[in-house]
A and B are shown apart, each in its own frame.
Chain A
């Protein structure tokens, strides 16, 4: 009997054996990936949206622990809001304001550290970002949406209260003191960035593969998408906020945009934007219409998106060249988009017809 002839007797058994082996391998490999490699929206994905910190937030998580992760993330938002809000009566920030010119206030390590970081961004950006801008915001009605245009005399009276360098910090006693009545701290300029970092940390305690947050348009993405592609973050077009300037392809990152288009009021045909210049006490007369900061550090992104907007194009690019630990997308009032050369491969502009200029890190 030849080899093949013998094989022919064997072959029904072989087929059965191999088919079961194949099925077994498939079952095992599928069971091993279930729940994590699932691309469907039905399982392993959870999204919540809610209003907090005077803005609209969405938190999304992917993976078996998605529901727990978004719940924990949302809870963390409320906890931070209670610590850092200027409008919540018992918050440490409100207490510091109430005791301005009276006495230092003891705060938690978390609050102290964030105030100290905000103060350092104020000095680092030559006060283009200023956490003590609150009295000016009140004057223009941006705090309670009762918008008005104050007189120059009113502004001059309040402007001395805007001085981050006058805030007295005692790291041993953990106290914060505002030396003059009327001074106030508003961490609104970095609180969302801080919250974003904190929420991510909270969510990653759970069994999730990826997540994304939008805290009032401050975006953070982290983890690996189930389809294996990189994250795509659109950057809003200031001329038409529902469409976008371009799409950024990225791994885990925070993307934070500031622009006058986000919030403003109009009076007698003139537009007054919500981003104040701490030097003048008036809406920043920037030659930029939109500043996006792309960074691992949400606090930095939040602070710099405001600061670089106030600085204007030239100073913003100079600041990038002297620091360089972040990336950006700027649009100026002529409709020209500026991006660093390091971003050129990952930013795809949409069909807005706007010119794109790449900026080198070294300068020209």
Chain B
């Protein structure tokens, strides 16, 4: 019973964090910065990064999908939903694979995730506009992805340490 509740709380807290990050991201980086409205840098990938190490890719997928659905319900923007879902899923896949090699630190895993996130978004944008013109933004978004990736890793490290400390059976 206690374990179940703890899991539920963790899940809720992580989803809330992801939601907050993706909402605040749209405040700091408005649509105008991107070729197609609805694209994001993918700051919510912080949660994905933490979660695949803390609980594995399964629960992470659950958090990711819940986050995307909730932003969709609150924001009501189908394009943004498709962008975040496609970007998020691809980032999760890339991060999981990078993690499984066991060679990369947070920084490497996160960079791979960000790059994949942006490739996913460009793919959706190309499908939505039925034009390959958006592909010309790929080099810029990939370069931006490196910066975001490093930033995300930097953000995730202190959070990870803090979470480990409050985990039952951790320090206490």
Give the B-binding residues of A (Cβ under 8 A).
2-4, 7-8, 10-11, 14-15, 18-19, 22, 25-26, 29-30, 33-34, 37-40
Across-interface contacts of A8 in B (CB, < 8 A): 56, 58-59
Can you offer 7 A-B residue contacts whose CB atoms are under 8 A? A3-B4, A7-B58, A25-B78, A29-B82, A30-B130, A34-B130, A37-B129
Whether A40 lies near B78 (C-beta < 8 A) is no
A248 to chain B, nearest CB (A): 25
The 3 closest A-B pairs by CB, nearest first: A11-B58, A8-B58, A4-B59
B97 contacts partner chain A, Cβ-Cβ < 8 Å? no
Candidate in B56, B61, B78, B124 with the most chain A CB atoms within 10 angstroms: B61
B56 touches A3 (CB 8 A): no
> What residues of A have a CB within 8 angstroms of the CB of B7 in the complex?
2-4
CA distance A3 to B2 in the complex (A): 11
For residue B131, CB closer than 8 A to chain A, the reply is yes
Return the chain B residue nearest A36 by Cβ: B130
> Beyond A4-B55, A8-B58, is A29–B78 a contact (Cβ under 8 Å)?
yes
Do B129 and A29 have beta carbons less than 8 Å apart? no
Contact of A14 among B62, B78, B124, B127 (CB under 8 A): B62
| B25: A residues at CB distance < 8 A | none
Which residues of chain B have a CB within 8 Å of any CB of chain A? 3-4, 7-8, 11, 55-59, 61-62, 65, 78, 82, 85-86, 89, 124, 127-131, 133
Contact A29 B62 (CB under 8 A): no
Known: A2-B3, A4-B11. A11 touches B61 (CB 8 A): yes
Roughly how many angstroms separate A344 CA and B59 CA in the complex, as a whole number? 57
Given A11-B62, A14-B62: A3 and B8 within 8 A (CB)? yes
CA distance A22 to B72 in the complex (A): 14
Report yes or no: A11 in contact with B57, Cβ–Cβ below 8 A: yes
Would A25 and B129 be within 8 Å (CB), given that A3-B4, A3-B7, A4-B58 are in contact? no
* Cβ–Cβ < 8 Å partners of A11 in chain B: 57-58, 61-62
List the A side residues contacting B89 at CB < 8 Å.
18-19, 22
Cβ–Cβ < 8 Å partners of B56 in chain A: 4, 8
Q: Which residue of B lies closest to A35 (CB)?
A: B130
Q: Give the most central of A11, A19, A40: most B CB within 10 Å.
A: A11
* Nearest B residue (CB) for A38: B130
- Closest B residue to A228 by beta carbon equals B129
Residue of A nearest to B6 (CB): A2
Asked if B65 and A14 sit within 8 Å, CB to CB, the answer is yes
B86 touches A22 (CB 8 A): yes
Smallest Cβ-Cβ distance to B79: which chain A residue: A29
Contact call B82/A30, Cβ cutoff below 8 A: no
Q: How far is the CB of A246 from chain B (nearest CB, A)?
A: 26
Q: Is there contact, CB below 8 Å, between A29 and B128?
A: yes
Q: How far is the CA of A7 from the CA of B55 in the complex (A)?
A: 11
Q: A residues within 8 A CB of B65?
A: 14, 18
- Measured between C-beta atoms, what is the minimum distance from A352 to chain B in Å? 31
Q: Is the CB of A40 within 8 A of B131?
A: yes
**7 more A-B residue pairs beyond the given contacts A11-B58, A22-B85, with a C-beta to C-beta distance below 8 A:** A2-B4, A3-B4, A3-B8, A7-B59, A7-B62, A11-B61, A37-B129
In the complex, chain B residues whose CB is within 8 Å of the CB of A18:
65, 85, 89
Q: Which residues of A contact B78 (CB under 8 A)?
A: 25, 29
Contacts of B4 in A (CB 8 A): 2-3
Q: A26 to chain B: which residues have CB within 8 Å?
A: 82, 124, 127-128
For A38, the chain B residues whose CB sits under 8 A away are 130
* Interface contact A3-B58, CB-CB below 8 Å: no
The answer to whether A3 and B11 touch across the interface, beta carbons within 8 angstroms, is yes
Assess the A22–B8 pair: CB atoms within 8 A.
no
Give A38 to B7 CA distance when docked, in angstroms.
48
Do the beta carbons of A39 and B57 come within 8 Å of each other?
no
Contacts A3-B11, A4-B55 given: A37-B130 contact, CB under 8 Å?
yes
Cα–Cα, bound, A11→B51 (Å)? 15
A11 to B89, CA, bound (A): 13
When C-beta atoms are compared, the residue in chain B nearest to A34 turns out to be B130
Residues of chain B with a CB closer than 8 A to A19's CB = 89
A8 to B127, CA, bound (A): 31
CA distance A14 to B129 in the complex (A): 28
A15 touches B61 (CB 8 A): yes
Q: How far is the CB of A25 from chain B (nearest CB, A)?
A: 7
Query: Which residues of the partner chain A approach B128 to less than 8 Å between Cβ atoms?
Result: 26, 29-30
Q: Given the complex of chains A and B, what is the CA–CA distance between A29 and B38 in angstroms?
A: 16
Whole-angstrom distance between the alpha carbons of A68 and B1 in the complex?
71
Q: Does the CB pair A39–B131 fall under 8 Å?
A: yes
The residue of chain A having its C-beta at the shortest distance from the C-beta of B65 within the complex is A18
B59 and A39 contact, CB distance less than 8 A: no
Considering the chains assembled together, what is the distance between the CA atoms of A205 and B7 in angstroms?
Answer: 62
| B82 CB contacts on chain A under 8 angstroms | 22, 25-26, 29
